């Protein structure tokens, strides 16, 4: 009878420890920043267009060694801002869209880029539906394509600026 009890205890410990190791998870934080360079030529009364893409790679930074083991992603903060403006201070982006893959994360209408860059205005993305779609996309892909497109009027001269996209993520890694 003692042998049966000892075997039962050993079997229980083996199963319990096996389950414990299966539950081991790590939380890894990573901040990703990507700059998109935009150049709008002098428009001379005709709306100019821009359509730019950049790839944001999750294999950069702290996620690099874990990218194939990510089971969940939580976006802690997500924002963008305009910076490094040079050119026609009166130029306006009449309409603009920022997308991650096919998910629209931000739009602007009649925005004076010079003023936004000078004021260091930060545009926060807080819509839960958008963040959820992006979190799912980050779990299923090791990179995402950022697209910035729109129309601008800059009759007094060209405009050059950058759009800085910042994402702070926490990934759950299953070991």
Triad 108, 109, 111: Cα angle to 5°: 85
Secondary-structure breakdown of the chain: helix, strand, coil percentages, each rounded to the nearest 5 = 30, 55, 20
pLDDT at 14 exceeding the cut of 60: no
pLDDT of residue 7: 44
pLDDT at 97 exceeding the cut of 70: yes
Mean pLDDT of 49-67: 79
pLDDT at 10 exceeding the cut of 50: no
- Quickly list H helices, 23-151: 113-118, 128-140
CATH (one of 1.10.8, 2.60.120, 1.10.10, 3.40.1350) for 25-174: 2.60.120
Per-residue pLDDT band for 26 (boundaries 50, 70, 90) equals confident
pLDDT at 118 exceeding the cut of 70: yes
Q: Is 88 exposed, middle or buried (0-12, 13-18, 19+ CB in 10 A)?
A: buried
Could you give the CA distance from residue 23 to residue 109 in angstroms, rounded to a whole number?
A: 48
Sequence spans of domains, the chain:
25-174
pLDDT of residue 16: 45
Average pLDDT across the chain, whole number: 85
């Amino acid at each position: 009878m003692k042998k049966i009890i000892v075997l039962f205890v050993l079997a229980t410990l083996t199963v319990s420890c096996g389950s414990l190791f299966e539950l081991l998870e790590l939380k890894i934080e990573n901040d990703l920043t990507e700059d998109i360079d935009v150049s709008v030529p002098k428009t001379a009364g005709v709306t100019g267009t821009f359509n730019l893409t950049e790839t944001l790679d999750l294999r950069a930074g702290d996620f690099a060694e874990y990218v194939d083991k990510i089971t969940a992603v939580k976006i802690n903060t997500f924002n963008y801002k305009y910076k490094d403006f040079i050119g026609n201070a009166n130029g306006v982006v009449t309409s603009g869209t920022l997308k991650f893959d096919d998910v629209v994360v931000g739009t602007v209408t009649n925005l004076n880029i010079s003023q936004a860059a000078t004021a260091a205005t930060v545009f926060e993305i807080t819509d839960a539906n958008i963040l959820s779609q992006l979190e799912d996309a980050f779990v299923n892909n090791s990179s995402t394509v950022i697209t910035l497109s729109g129309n601008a009027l800059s009759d007094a001269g060209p405009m050059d600026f950058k759009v800085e996209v910042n994402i702070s993520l926490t990934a759950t890694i299953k070991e």
